């Protein structure tokens, strides 16, 4: 049971422009994004004005009604609100919030977002792969990392958009509103309950035009028998650890990251490695929803 569910809801009318909304989507990929991102969140949006939110979401950065996101038949399981603060933890002025919104709105329709598969690829590159992978997860990680390598590097993840809305806002001095990012300790979140068939359908949709292996239905949904995905009974296109490591390493090199260190593992299914620099600002492309929530410039308000 979610312990937050029994708590009083935070009133939507008390949100301020520039507040962050962190949420968990209903898709199977959203569950994995949250887990690989080491938090309960798979997506982040920015509170706009007049009951709207603004976010980096496919196919483009856009504004949309918050009410639609919160509807019972909406695309998310829950939404948590965080108050945006100055870098030192003091309240943002109304002018500061207006500057952030102005910059965020300047990106509407012009900056296109990455898809969920790229998000998983980047998170794996950042934190390393889990140990003792089932065949279906080997396949997913390989698809995600290869997909991320081919992706347009100018496109942004949802958390990069939220980070840049503050960091790149027109301020004096520059970056005055940039959120401090503080690396946290790895969590011990259990692996999510994933519907493998729905997951494969989501991945296949994102991989259009289909790769040759998928076109041949080597891992097709039609090949499922007895409720068990075919990837549990094949070699997943011979994806051993060396092949996966090579794919992850290629993406890390593209991102300018050092190799992960397996010695950092502290449990069988621990996610390995870290990529945050000891000094200087973070790579915006690697900022996760968790990092925004854990920042000293964020204060938890409650669940909407």
The total number of structural domains in the chain stands at 1
Residue 105 located in a structural domain: yes
- 111, 155 Cβ separation under 8 angstroms: yes
Longest alpha-carbon distance in the chain: 62
For the segment 124-179, what is each residue's pLDDT rounded down to a tens digit?
988 788 777 787 888 889 889 988 888 877 788 899 999 999 999 999 999 999 99
Q: What is the C-alpha separation between 20 and 4, in angstroms, rounded? A: 18
Does 297 score more than 60 pLDDT? yes
CATH number, domain containing residue 260 = 3.90.1720.10
Q: Strands 298-303 and 60-65: what pairing? A: unpaired
Q: What is the C-alpha separation between 53 and 283, in angstroms, rounded? A: 24
Residue 261 located in a structural domain: yes
For the segment 58-98, what is each residue's pLDDT rounded down to a tens digit?
888 999 999 999 999 999 999 999 999 999 999 999 999 99
Q: What is the C-alpha separation between 32 and 37, in angstroms, rounded? A: 8
**DSSP type of residue 113:** B
Average pLDDT (192-204) is 90
Give the bridge partners for 216, in sequence order.
Answer: none
pTM: 0.82
Does 259 score more than 60 pLDDT? no
Q: Is the C-alpha dihedral spanning 241, 252, 206, 193 positive or negative?
A: positive
Q: How confident is the model at residue 282 (pLDDT cuts 50, 70, 90)?
A: confident
Residue 10 located in a structural domain: no
**Domain extent at residue 94:** 16-303
Q: What is the C-alpha separation between 201 and 229, in angstroms, rounded? A: 12
Residue 119 located in a structural domain: yes
For the segment 120-129, what is each residue's pLDDT rounded down to a tens digit?
998 998 878 8
Alpha helices by DSSP H, listed for the chain, are 28-36, 66-70, 94-106, 116-127, 135-150, 158-167, 196-206, 212-215, 241-255, 289-294
Residue 6 located in a structural domain: no
**DSSP type of residue 170:** S
For residue 153, how many C-alpha atoms fall within 13 Å in the half-sphere facing its CB? 8
Neighbouring residues of 19: CB distance < 8 A, sequence distance ≥ 6: 46, 47, 81, 82, 83, 84, 301
Neighbouring residues of 268: CB distance < 8 A, sequence distance ≥ 6: 131, 132
**DSSP type of residue 44:** E
- 128, 248 Cβ separation under 8 angstroms: yes
Pick the range with the lowest mean pLDDT from 22-26, 110-114, 190-194. 110-114
Residue 9 located in a structural domain: no
For residue 79 the two structure tokens come to 């939404």
Residue 8 located in a structural domain: no
- 197, 221 Cβ separation under 8 angstroms: yes
For the segment 19-47, what is each residue's pLDDT rounded down to a tens digit?
999 999 999 999 999 999 999 999 999 99
For residue 125 the two structure tokens come to 């590159």
Residue 61 located in a structural domain: yes
Note the residue count of the chain.
304
User: For residue 77, what pLDDT is reported?
Assistant: 98
User: For residue 254, what pLDDT is reported?
Assistant: 85
């Amino acid at each position: 049971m979610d312990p937050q569910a029994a708590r009083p809801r935070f009133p939507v009318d008390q949100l301020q422009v520039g507040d962050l909304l962190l949420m968990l989507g209903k898709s199977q990929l959203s569950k994995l994004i949250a887990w690989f991102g080491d938090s309960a969140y798979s997506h982040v949006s920015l509170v706009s004005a007049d009951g709207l939110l603004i976010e980096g979401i496919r196919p483009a950065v856009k504004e949309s009604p918050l009410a639609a996101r919160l509807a019972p038949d909406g695309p998310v399981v829950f939404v948590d609100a965080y108050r945006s603060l100055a870098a030192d933890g003091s309240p943002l002025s109304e002018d500061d919030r207006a500057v952030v919104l102005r910059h965020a709105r300047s990106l509407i329709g012009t900056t296109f977002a990455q898809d969920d598969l790229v998000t998983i690829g980047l998170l794996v590159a950042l934190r390393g792969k889990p140990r003792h992978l089932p065949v279906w997860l080997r396949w997913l990680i390989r698809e995600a990392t290869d997909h991320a390598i081919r992706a347009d590097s100018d496109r942004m993840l949802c958390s990069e958009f939220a980070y840049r809305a503050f960091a790149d806002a027109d301020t004096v001095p520059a970056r005055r509103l940039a959120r401090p990012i503080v690396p946290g300790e790895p969590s011990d979140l259990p692996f999510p309950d994933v519907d493998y068939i729905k997951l494969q359908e989501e991945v296949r949709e994102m991989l259009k035009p289909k790769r040759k292996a998928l076109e041949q239905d080597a891992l097709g949904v039609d090949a499922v028998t007895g409720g068990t995905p075919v990837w549990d009974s094949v070699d997943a296109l011979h994806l051993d650890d060396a092949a996966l490591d090579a794919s992850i390493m290629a993406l890390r090199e593209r991102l300018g990251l050092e190799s992960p260190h397996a010695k950092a593992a502290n449990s069988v299914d621990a996610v390995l490695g870290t990529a945050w620099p000891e000094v200087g600002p973070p790579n915006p492309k690697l900022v996760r929803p968790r990092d925004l929530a854990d920042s000293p410039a964020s204060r938890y308000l409650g669940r909407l």
